[in-house]
Amino acid sequence: MPTWWFVRHGESLAQINQWTGPDPDTPLSPLGEQQAHELAPQVAELPIQRVLVSPFLRARQTAERAMASWGQAQRGQAPLAVPDPFAPSASAPGKGSGTSASLRSQTPLSQTPLSQPPFLTVADLRERHSGDWLRFPQDEAIKRQLATWDFVPPGGESIQQAALRGLRALAELDGDHNTIIFAHGRILAGVLAVLDGADLGQPIHALPNCVALAREVTRGGWRELAERMG
């Protein structure tokens, strides 16, 4: 049974209120850089065959740093050759997408180092879109609402909606490959809540930064979960 690892990016500048630019362009903070580098020795020991990455900068930066030592520790581990049958376009933040827009290759396979598994950018693993609340001061009342499974902030999407698009994207990439995902705290928390059968009436808190959480998922499991959600 394949193993899937879920990693939220390192701390970003937005988390410490030092970023006012577009959400997709938010970089890691100095602490986030350190967290990603400190994760590298753990990741280097994992039998990873494939890397899935959100298109947002902070997730890509985390993946690059956390995977930096992987090839040195995996001399005998052959990376998986994954074809890229999807159109090279990402969907707009906050909107769902069909198959042709949900996945795209970050690096052509001909340019992927043989010492590393292929990186695939998955647009539908972008963070849950908080809409007009993205730049609101995060007081306790707002935090409670944003942690509610089916709450839709103005102009945004619920955790439920974000988790469903994430599950559908993973269903498209289902298989027998050990896979690590670098994405975001709230969408990954939603995906894991569904996978683990958690009580969705309880708050869905974002995952901690740069902690690799492992789950075994049978082939076809992602599609089953996505179809169950509708």
What are the average pLDDT values for consecutive 10-residue runs of the chain, which has 230 residues?
Answer: 97 92 95 98 94 97 94 55 36 39 43 63 95 76 92 95 98 95 98 98 97 97 95
Q: What is the pLDDT of residue 142?
A: 86
Q: Are 128 and 194 in contact (CB under 8 A)?
A: no
Q: What is the pLDDT of residue 31?
A: 98
C-alpha separations of 196 from 15, 188, 190, 199, 215 in Å:
27, 12, 10, 9, 9
Q: What is the pLDDT of residue 199?
A: 98
Q: What is the pLDDT of residue 109?
A: 33
Q: Identify the structural domains of the chain with CATH numbers, from first to last.
A: 3-211+221-229 (3.40.50.1240)
Q: Are 146 and 129 in contact (CB under 8 A)?
A: no
Strands 103-105 and 119-122 come out as antiparallel
In angstroms, what is the C-alpha Rg of the chain? 17
How far is C-alpha 80 from the chain's CA centre? 19
Q: What is the pLDDT of residue 136?
A: 66
